[in-house]
Amino acid sequence: MEAKKYYEEFETIVGDILTHSEFQKLKNIEHHGNGLYEHSVAVGYYSYRVAKVLGMDYKSVARGATLHDFFTESWQGQKKNSKGIKRIKEMHGFSHPKTALINAEKYFDIDERQADMIVKHMFPLTPIPPMHMGGWIVTAVDKCVATRELVFVNMRPIERLKSLILKAS
Ligand SMILES: [Fe+2]
Ligand SMILES: [Fe+2]
């Protein structure tokens, strides 16, 4: 199967999610110097590819993975007044999988396995591991995609420095 066919198939599986007005709000949220929308599409696509290679229900994985970070309000700059354990629970890294699950259930039909992919994707930061293989795929792919995004963002200053160095020489 050529790459174009994979993209087309992925689009038919998650097209209704990607074009949904609520999901489109992810375009306004920054994530590792990238948009959260792009991040979600990347995690959805690569999870779909991995699930396909493993002979799993790739349609289910594609949809669950695409919805894994479905929160529409930016957390950066939000003030928290709570303290102790409550404060930790409210921290974005811990709270956003639950928010994503609430939104996913509100706007789309998701099953128990997809709920697991969404709510457990921050493992091991959130201590309960995924119960199903799809959840393990999403948590691994999310970390790979996020690392790649961070590396590219971090490379930009190096690129700028290089051009300054070239100008100076
Ligand atoms: Fe996340
Ligand atoms: Fe993510």
Secondary structure (H, E, C), 2-48: CHHHHHHHHHHHHHHHHCCHHHHHHHHCEECCEEHHHHHHHHHHHHH
Residue 87 sits in which domain range?
A: 3-168
Contact present, 65 and 108 (Cβ < 8 Å): no
Residue 121 CA to ligand 2 center (angstroms) comes to 8
For the chain, what percent of residues have pLDDT higher than 70? 85
Residue 69 CA to ligand 1 center (angstroms) comes to 5
CA–CA dist 78, 19 (Å, integer): 28
How many distinct structural domains can be found in the chain?
Answer: 1
CATH number of the CATH domain containing 135? 1.10.3210
Residue 80 CA to ligand 2 center (angstroms) comes to 22
Measured in degrees and rounded to the nearest 5, phi and psi for residue 147 equal -65, -45
Residue 144 CA to ligand 2 center (angstroms) comes to 10
- pLDDT range class, residue 165, cuts 50, 70, 90: confident
36: closest CA among 10, 71, 79?
71
DSSP string, 45-109: HHHHHHHHHTTS-HHHHHHHHHTTT---S--TT------HHHHHHHSHHHHHHHHHHHHHHHHS-
> Is the pLDDT at 135 greater than 70, yes or no?
yes
Ligand nearest to the CA of 36: 2
pLDDT at 161 (0 to 100): 72
What's the whole-model pTM score? 0.85
Residue 169 CA to ligand 1 center (angstroms) comes to 43
User: Which has more pLDDT, 106 or 88?
Assistant: 106
Residue 157 CA to ligand 2 center (angstroms) comes to 24
